[in-house]
Amino acid sequence: MGKSLALFIGTFTTLLAVINPLESLPIFLKLLAGQDDHAHRQVARLSCFYATCLIFFFLVCGTLMLKIFSVSLSMIRIVGGIILMRVGFSLFLPSASGGVIHGGGSGSTQPAGNIAFVPLAMPLMFGPGVLATIMGMSSLVKHPISDFVELLGIILAILAAMLVTYLILAYAKVLLGRVGPLGIDAATRIVGFFVAAIGMGLVFHGVVEALYNYKIIAIQ
């Protein structure tokens, strides 16, 4: 139970930090300029649904893909950790544009389904950082069937993170008015620091496991 709780907390916080829905508020509002609150909630619901489907696809099929390409779990941890460290540093040290990905054109001229999938679901919600998080955290569950409780912790964390993301996007106008650009920037820098730290942890454990697997160091 202790490991499943740790996986839940680690996956939930990392996903929420990597997705960073607070940083997506400006582009979300820009894409839906002129739309009413019902349209905001509809697009937020669709985009979170698409992103959740993509996440669960790689959660289920990720191990199979590793076997097809003969990639060890330790290598996934190392690469995933490096990606998370890069994402964390980019959040901690935002660019001159504030780290916001600007879209092209107004959302009022595009169908809601198109906006929900691109660019909201991909790449804003589901990108390399999220993929690295899912692959890295799932690699910590060595036996998904016998250790189903641990896998369940990751599943619940994904659903919880997407629920929070939906609520933030659905009430984007209210949150942006209360938090403000400076608050979003401060939150982005804080979560970026922790994402980089989690990525470093994955790299460390991946390197240690690789050394054990290749018998470079002996198991104590």
What percent of the chain shows pLDDT beyond 70? 89
- Cβ(92)–Cβ(17) below 8 Å: no
What percent of the chain shows pLDDT beyond 90? 24
Closest CA to 41 of 160, 209, 165, 177: 165
Q: What is the pLDDT, as a whole number, of residue 155?
A: 95
Q: What is the pLDDT, as a whole number, of residue 105?
A: 42
pLDDT digits (tens, 9 = 90+) for 2-16: 888 999 999 999 899
- Per-residue confidence at 27, pLDDT binned at 50, 70, 90? confident
Closest CA to 4 of 136, 157, 129: 157
Q: What is the pLDDT, as a whole number, of residue 9?
A: 93
- Per-residue confidence at 18, pLDDT binned at 50, 70, 90? confident
- Per-residue confidence at 100, pLDDT binned at 50, 70, 90? very low
Q: What is the dihedral of CA 27, 52, 109, 179, to 10 degrees?
A: -30
pLDDT digits (tens, 9 = 90+) for 117-157: 988 898 789 877 788 888 888 877 877 777 789 999 999 99
Structure-model confidence comparison of residues 184 and 75, the more confident one: 75
For the chain, state the CA radius of gyration: 18
Q: What is the pLDDT, as a whole number, of residue 218?
A: 64
pTM of the model: 0.72
Give kind and range of the element (H or E) at residue 37.
helix 37-68
35: exposed, middle or buried (C-beta count within 10 Å: 0-12, 13-18, 19+)? middle
pLDDT digits (tens, 9 = 90+) for 147-167: 789 999 999 999 999 999 999
Q: What is the pLDDT, as a whole number, of residue 53?
A: 96
Neighbours of 79 (CB within 10 A): 17
- The answer to whether residue 111 scores a pLDDT higher than 70 is no
Closest CA to 151 of 16, 26, 8: 8
pLDDT (mean) for 31-42: 88
In terms of average pLDDT, the best of 35-39, 112-116, 186-190 is 35-39
In angstroms, the CA 32 to CA 12 distance is 27
